Amino acid sequence: MPLPFPVFKPCPCGSGRSYGGCCGPRHTGERPAETPEALMRSRYAAYALRDTGYVRRTWHPDTCPPDLDLAGDDTRYTGLTVHRAQGEEVEFTATLVAGGRRQRLRERSTFTQVGGAWVYLDGVTP
């Protein structure tokens, strides 16, 4: 599967690594996310790149919305800060521009494993 973003560019997740050395291999299925934080970062990058398939594949089937489609979404994701990653929870702030307005989304996400792979279960905004 080809990468949806140049491998040499900085990864959208804000790790400071290149996309090809960070979230790219997760998006293609070459390397699964090893931790909930790695999955959360790769999902953020997938939102930024409008990779609906990856977001769906990494969302628990019981909580994934049936109408999820990022293709027509004009949201621009501009930054990610991870505040805490402990056990199955990751707390983060995503900055974005939606509808011409700059916004911040703070969430405490919960992850679980299905078939040995980490998936997003749900999140709450503290």
Give residue limits of the domains in the chain. 19-124
CATH says 19-124 is which class? alpha beta
**Residue 22 contacts residue 3 (beta carbons within 8 Å):** no
Average pLDDT over residues 91-105: 96
117 CB neighbour count, 10 Å cutoff: 12
Rounded to 5°, angle at Cα 30 from 58 and 9: 90
Q: Please tell me the distance from the alpha carbon of residue 45 to that of residue 16, in angstroms, as a whole number.
A: 13
Q: Please tell me the distance from the alpha carbon of residue 55 to that of residue 53, in angstroms, as a whole number.
A: 6
- pLDDT tens digits, one per residue of 40-63: 999 999 999 999 999 999 999 999
For residue 59, what are its two tokens?
Answer: 């969302």
Assess whether pLDDT exceeds 80 at residue 121.
yes
Average pLDDT over residues 56-75: 93
